A = this chain, B = another copy of it.
Amino acid sequence: VANKSQPVRASVSWKDNLTVALVESRNPLNIGAAARAMRNFGFTRLALVAPYDAAFREARSAVGAADVLQNAQLAADLDAVLADCTLVAGTATARGRVKRQPGSTLGGAASLLRAHLKRERAALLFGSEKFGLSNEHLSRCQWTLTIPTDPDCPSLNLGQAVAVCCYELARAPASAPRAPARPRLGRATAAQSQRMVEKLLALLDAAGYINPLTRRSQRLKIRRLVERLEISTDDARVLEGMLRQIAWKLDRQSGR
């Protein structure tokens, strides 16, 4: 078993940086079919999260992929599976789940995911045959990749969904599509950022986090950090509310 906190070996293929995680899968045959599809397109790291049937390692549909099944990580929840991933993408079909995370079609996201895998680890999550990924699972994802199925028959078989995604990831890159710069629409105003910095600073002061001797440089660091986050105007409002509440609590307690 590899030590997961070690840096990825240079000789490892970018494909080994992808974990395909099947969440609450019900059918060992589907798990076997998923393993085979992974192997067909050169992927090897499979994780099973809370599968309904632990007999998956014997799945007969995994022709040529017995190694993938034997080495599959079995986990009770997502935490262990996602621990060393710096990107988590959930898969969905056109079934019409409300998107809560930045979404994209599979084709649009694949090249970006591939670029990520050339440097760092990522996980691609597939939900159960019956229910797909829950909102709880999707909340762990930075991206949702939608497989563009027909609205009249949106629900893909699990093994086929894995095949399509692995194919799309492994396919020769279309002439180096450059990621468009992210639009900054909807970002917090400078005034909002400023208020957040001040509130956070006051809170950290009260908590004894700020060293008076280096206050000036710490303030700058905090401001840069807040700018880097590129917080949206809505999120900024929420975060301000949180900071206000914590500050109020601290203040009330210290005054007792």
Q: How many whole Å from A73's CB to the nearest CB in chain B?
A: 14
Q: Does A128 reach chain B (CB closer than 8 Å)?
A: no
Structural contact, A180 and B246, CB atoms closer than 8 A: no
Considering only CB atoms, which chain B residue lies closest to A227 in the complex? B142
Query: Hey, which chain B residues are within 8 Å of A39, CB to CB?
Result: 150, 152-153
Query: Hey, which chain B residues are within 8 Å of A242, CB to CB?
Result: 200, 204, 209
Bound complex: CA of A254 vs CA of B182, how far in Å? 43
Q: Does A14 reach chain B (CB closer than 8 Å)?
A: no
Q: Does A191 reach chain B (CB closer than 8 Å)?
A: yes
Q: How many whole Å from A229's CB to the nearest CB in chain B?
A: 5
Q: Does A55 reach chain B (CB closer than 8 Å)?
A: no
Query: Hey, which chain B residues are within 8 Å of A235, CB to CB?
Result: 225, 228-229
Q: Does A83 reach chain B (CB closer than 8 Å)?
A: yes
Quick one: copies of this chain in the complex?
2
Q: Which of B108, B120, B159, B204 contacts A160 (CB 8 A)?
A: B159
Structural contact, A227 and B181, CB atoms closer than 8 A: no
Bound complex: CA of A41 vs CA of B152, how far in Å? 9
Q: Does A70 reach chain B (CB closer than 8 Å)?
A: no
Structural contact, B79 and A187, CB atoms closer than 8 A: no
Residue of A156, A183, A231, A232 with most partner-chain B CB within 10 A: A183
Contact bitstring A156-170, B, C-beta under 8 A = 1, else 0: 110110011001101
Q: Does A33 reach chain B (CB closer than 8 Å)?
A: yes
Query: Hey, which chain B residues are within 8 Å of A180, CB to CB?
Result: 102-104, 108-109, 112, 143, 179
Bound complex: CA of A253 vs CA of B251, how far in Å? 10
Query: Hey, which chain B residues are within 8 Å of A156, CB to CB?
Result: 37, 40, 163
